Amino acid sequence: MEDSPHIPPVPATDPAEQYLVLLNEHERALAAYVHTLVPDRLDAEDILQSCKLTMWKQFSGFEPGTHFLAWARKIAFHQILNHRRGAKRKPLYSAEPAFLEAVAAEIDRVADSFSDRSEALHECLKRLPENQRRLVLLRYYEDHDIAAIARETDRTEAAVYKLLSRIRAALNDCVKSRLDSSAA
Amino acid sequence: MNFHDHIDRSLDGQLSEAEWTALQQAVIADPELRREYVEKRWLHALLESESASLPALLEEPQWVKPATVFRPAAWITAAAALALFAGSGILFYQSRPAPVVATLIEAENCRWAGSDLPTVEGAGLSAGTLALTEGMATIRFKSGATVTLEAPSVLEVESAMKCRLVEGSVVADVPESAHGFTIDTAKMEVIDLGTKFGVTTTPLGDSNVFVFEGEVKVKRDDLPEAKHVFAGKSLVSKAGATPEQTDQEVRRVEAPATSPGPGWMAVTTATGRGRDAFLRRGDGHGPTGAHPLLMVKHTDLAPNNERRALLSFDLAGIDRSALRAAKLALKIEPSGLGFSSLVPDSRFALYGVIDPVAAAWSESDLLWKSAGSLVDEPLASGSATRLAEFEIRKGSPNRLIEVHSDAFVDFLRSHPDEIISLLIVRETGESDQQGLVHAFASKEHPASPAPTLWLQTADHP
């Protein structure tokens, strides 16, 4: 298995390989799920790591042929609740369990249509004008906050926030229209 | 309450704790808002969770930092990790062609030298160097910033938000979308804050920035803090130890390179008692007789920048009664002052000085205020006579120009003095105070031919 990072054409028999193949396929959607429910970025990344470990430990309980992502989401949701209870530091926005339940239910409702969004987003990112790309990189790649970006680009914080909101709205519109047109 | 805005603000940490609590309640209660929340969060989550792939997607290599935070996964065996990460890594870091960051939208009468970028109109430009020797070229960066390059100039395109002016003049027009657009020079870095501005730089390293509209920020290594420059203002940055002008006089002995043919003789302003200088209203620099450039400008906007050039040729011993033809050759030089894009094609007039008092000027003490009839506006017919006109087109190359006319020949033939003086006046004004100052090489110019009077007499048919 070491020499093939690609999804093999025939079903794998080794459980570790099966797991890796499935995880590879659904990892992006799972990451988006956790990041959607957990506002704190570092928390989300920690949860995602422990979630993958837990999933591997419980993989024998997964029935091949059933919905891997749905199964993974369930495990992730418990991880999120556990993490919330055991958190040593309080994040800026700590989510209430009732809120998490409501949002998780909404994601479950739309999740299958959302799993295509990653590809569409990549296409839409490529279409952004140059200066907006820079802002996306500063915000998401460099992980700078609004105040740091404002200093770096000589804008006011309000202007940076407005521009970021506009970029995200444009990306969302672009993603939706791409998915609509590919569905049609 | 506007919860749509709350959602956006929660993504950027702009929400207070109370607002966050209120938002949570609203999301629980309102299915429509819940839908919106999940949609916006999901996009934000994708950007966060796939941030490592953003630089490759956005194709700006100079922003890619090699060291990203990499958290080794503790849950998986080393071999499995290798297989997994090898797969995803290859997807993101393939080499790609240099991205196009700008377009050459206009290139009129251009001649290029040593450019490693395409120089045809409409060409896409990646990072690289443009060297313009003639004409004017306009580049639109992907950020929306437009930069007009005036020959002779060398510009390095770096990214959609940055270029570097090695030498020459550019005028930048920067819309709001390209806020932060930067022009770098050897001496300073000019950062746009929504504006129109010009930058010039000389091979010696002097840099000037002029702001036509809006505001720019200028960073210099020798200044602890960035300086803001506002509309109508300029900032001059002199290279460290370089004197403002060359003050040692270089007398030229060799004849100008381009002879019109046999039968012509050359007299330059360096010959005999020849002289050259320029007059500047306001006399800010004192007498200019030793200056390597003869600067000429006409402006109604900044009267103290008005400039006229004065040339005297020693024609002692030349039999002018037999003169058949004559022409004045001048080498155009970049003045390093002003921008040609702000001046239309320019018309100049050549006058012969008649007034004997004015003609007896001296290089060491000529000033505008003491120049008498030479600075009259208009020139009185009793003190100077109009001999010829010539035109220098916008962005035209810095070549040798020749001025001739029948009136010029008549003047040279009939003027009684051994030394004849000529005055060059620009008649075209400018649309902005920072319009180009035209310049010609003087006899002190280290590399270019001095103003030269070519004479053809009947003895040499």
Q: Which pLDDT tens digit goes with each residue over B237-256?
A: 765 533 233 222 323 333 34
Q: Quickly list DSSP for A30-71.
A: HHHHHHHH--SHHHHHHHHHHHHHHHHHTGGGSPTTS-HHHH
Highest mean pLDDT among A4-8, B43-47, B171-175, B196-200: B43-47
Nearest by CB to B38, from A49, A107, A134: name it.
Answer: A107
pLDDT at position B329 = 92
Which residue of chain B comes nearest to A171, CA vs CA?
B43
The answer to whether residue A6 is domain-embedded is no
Q: Do B46 and A145 touch (CB under 8 A)?
A: no
Among candidate residues A88, A113, A138, the one where a domain is terminated: A113
Considering the domain architecture, whether residues A36 and A86 belong to the same structural domain is answered as yes
| A179 CB-contact burial (10 Å; exposed 0-12 / middle 13-18 / buried 19+) | middle
In B144-256, the DSSP E strands lie at 146-159, 162-174, 182-184, 188-192, 195-201, 207-213, 215-220, 227-230, 234-237
Highest mean pLDDT (candidates A32-36, A115-119, B147-151, B344-348) = A32-36
CATH class of segment(s) B102-237: mainly beta
Instruction: Inform me whether the C-beta atom of residue A42 falls under 8 Å from chain B C-beta atoms.
Output: no
Q: Supply the CATH number for residue A162's domain.
A: 1.10.10.10
Same domain, yes or no: A108 and A145: no
Looking at the structure, do residues A33 and A97 belong to the same domain, yes or no? yes
Determine the 3-state secondary structure of B220 from DSSP.
strand
Evaluate if residue B233 carries a pLDDT over 80.
Answer: no
Does one domain contain both A87 and A19? yes
Number of A–B residue contacts, CB under 8 Å: 192
A80 touches B at CB < 8 Å: no
A150 and A61 co-located in one domain: no
**Same domain assignment for residues A94 and A125:** no
Helix locations, B280-363, DSSP H: 356-359
Q: pLDDT (tens digit, 9 = 90+) per residue, B64-98?
A: 333 333 344 444 444 454 444 444 433 333 334 57
User: Does residue A2 carry a pLDDT above 70?
Assistant: no
- Domains in chain A: how many in total? 2
Q: Are residues A108 and A24 in the same domain?
A: yes
Burial of B328 (0-12, 13-18, 19+ CB in 10 A): buried
Which residues in chain A have Cβ-Cβ distances shorter than 8 Å to B38?
36, 103, 106-107, 110
Question: Amino acid identity, residue B352?
Answer: G
Would you say residue A31 lies in a domain?
A: yes
Using alpha carbons, select from B60, B93, B48 the residue that is nearest to residue A141: B48
**Domain limit, last residue, from A55, A89, A113:** A113
CA distance B362 to B423: 14
Does residue A1 belong to any structural domain of this protein?
Answer: no
Tokens, residue B5: 């805005």
> Does residue A135 share a domain with residue A88?
no
Both A103 and A122 in one domain: the answer is no
Model pLDDT, residue B40: 94
3-state secondary structure of B353: strand
Cβ separation of A155 and B179 shorter than 8 Å? yes
B209, B188 in Cβ contact below 8 A? yes
Which pair of tokens denotes residue B392?
């220098």
Quick one: A107 and A125 in the same domain? no
Domain that holds residue A130: 117-183
Q: How far is CA B236 from the centre of its chain?
A: 13
* Residue B361 near residue B421, CB atoms below 8 Å: yes
In 3D space, the residue among B320, B250, B319 whose CA is nearest the CA of residue B291 turns out to be B250
Report ipTM for this prediction. 0.89
Are both A109 and A121 inside the same structural domain?
no
Q: What is the CATH number of the domain that holds A100?
A: 1.10.1740
Any B CB within 8 A of A113 CB: no
